[in-house]
């Protein structure tokens, strides 16, 4: 893994605009307690303080995976349990989601999860180039009103950053239940010369991906689901 000393740590984009809220309800007592006990022991160092070495987070990690916007952490915890040799970095600014994830991590006695309770893009910038083996972005905020489309995460500058941080042969897995966002993802990821689509267009839902909360919500609303799996050439 190489470090890029020229990578600015300060984000070059605007502040995080989350579709949901950063906190929607009072944390349950157990989750609130986990913020004080578990979170400090598994937090990713503040990216504002300089580069982050994933091997310092888990010296024996065989792979480094990143989930952006893990929501309640169900998928993050499931992948961590299935792949105990892989370091799972999860980023999520929604504090109730972080509380839920902490509960899953404690319940599963998971030792390979590290959390950044904030914007994933800051962590990505602080990670070495070519250090990520898999990046998962499942049901990102849809920003479905046309005037809000520009707030979507999957845009060329973000994909450029993603490609820099992805190792050769690494994977990016996105899914959405908004068709026009799926079209945008396919267009933006497909236009990136460093990436190769593993499917003709959209991918089959990979068997390893459990149903997520937002996917379930979309399905109940009668939405379709589109998965995209690209690999770095």
Ligand X SMILES: C[S@@+](CC[C@H](N)C(=O)[O-])C[C@H]1O[C@@H](n2cnc3c(N)ncnc32)[C@H](O)[C@@H]1O
Cα-Cα-Cα-Cα dihedral of 110, 27, 137, 11, to 10°?
-110
Among 138, 182, 228, 229, binds ligand X (CB under 6 A): 138
| Distances in whole angstroms, Cα of residue 196 to Cα of each of 63, 150, 205 | 20, 24, 17
**Minimum distance of ligand X from residue 145's CB (angstroms):** 15
Per the annotation, the verdict on 141 as an active-site residue is: yes
For residue 135, what are the β-bridge partners? Answer: 66, 172
CB burial of residue 39 (10 Å; 0-12, 13-18, 19+): middle
Q: Using the rule CB under 6 A, is 97 a contact of ligand X? A: yes
Q: With CB under 6 A, what is the number of residues at the site for ligand X? A: 24
Among 42, 64, 70, 99, binds ligand X (CB under 6 A): 70
**Binding mask of the shown chain, residues 174 to 193, with x at each position contacting ligand X by CB under 6 A:** --------------------
Name which of 126 and 196 has its Cβ closer to ligand X: 126
Q: Please give the full DSSP string across 111-139, using - where no structure is assigned.
A: SSEEEESS-HHHHHHHSPBT-EEEEEEES
Among 65, 88, 89, 92, binds ligand X (CB under 6 A): 92
User: Footprint of ligand X on this chain (CB under 6 A)?
Assistant: 16, 18, 20, 68-71, 91-94, 97, 119-121, 138-141, 153, 212-215
By annotation, the residues acting in catalysis are 141
């Amino acid at each position: 893994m190489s470090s890029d000393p020229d990578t600015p740590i300060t984000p070059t984009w605007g502040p995080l605009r989350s579709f949901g809220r950063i906190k929607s309800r009072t944390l349950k007592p157990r989750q609130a307690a986990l913020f004080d006990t578990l979170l400090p022991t598994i937090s990713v160092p503040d990216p504002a303080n300089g580069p982050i070495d994933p091997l310092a987070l888990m010296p024996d990690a065989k792979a480094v995976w990143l989930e952006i916007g893990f929501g309640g952490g169900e998928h993050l915890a499931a992948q961590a349990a299935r792949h105990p040799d892989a370091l799972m970095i999860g980023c999520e600014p929604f504090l109730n989601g972080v509380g839920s994830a902490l509960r899953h991590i404690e319940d599963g006695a998971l030792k390979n999860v590290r959390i950044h309770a904030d914007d994933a893009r800051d962590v990505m910038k602080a990670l070495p180039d070519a250090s990520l083996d898999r990046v998962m972005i499942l049901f990102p905020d849809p920003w479905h009103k046309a005037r809000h489309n520009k707030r979507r995460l999957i845009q060329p500058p973000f994909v450029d950053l993603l490609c820099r941080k992805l190792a050769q042969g690494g994977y990016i897995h996105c899914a959405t239940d908004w068709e026009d966002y799926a079209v945008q993802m396919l267009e933006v990821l497909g236009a990136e010369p460093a990436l190769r689509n593993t499917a003709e267009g959209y991918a089959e839902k990979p068997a390893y991906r459990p149903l997520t909360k937002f996917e379930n919500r979309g399905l109940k609303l009668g939405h379709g689901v589109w998965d995209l799996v690209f690999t770095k050439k």
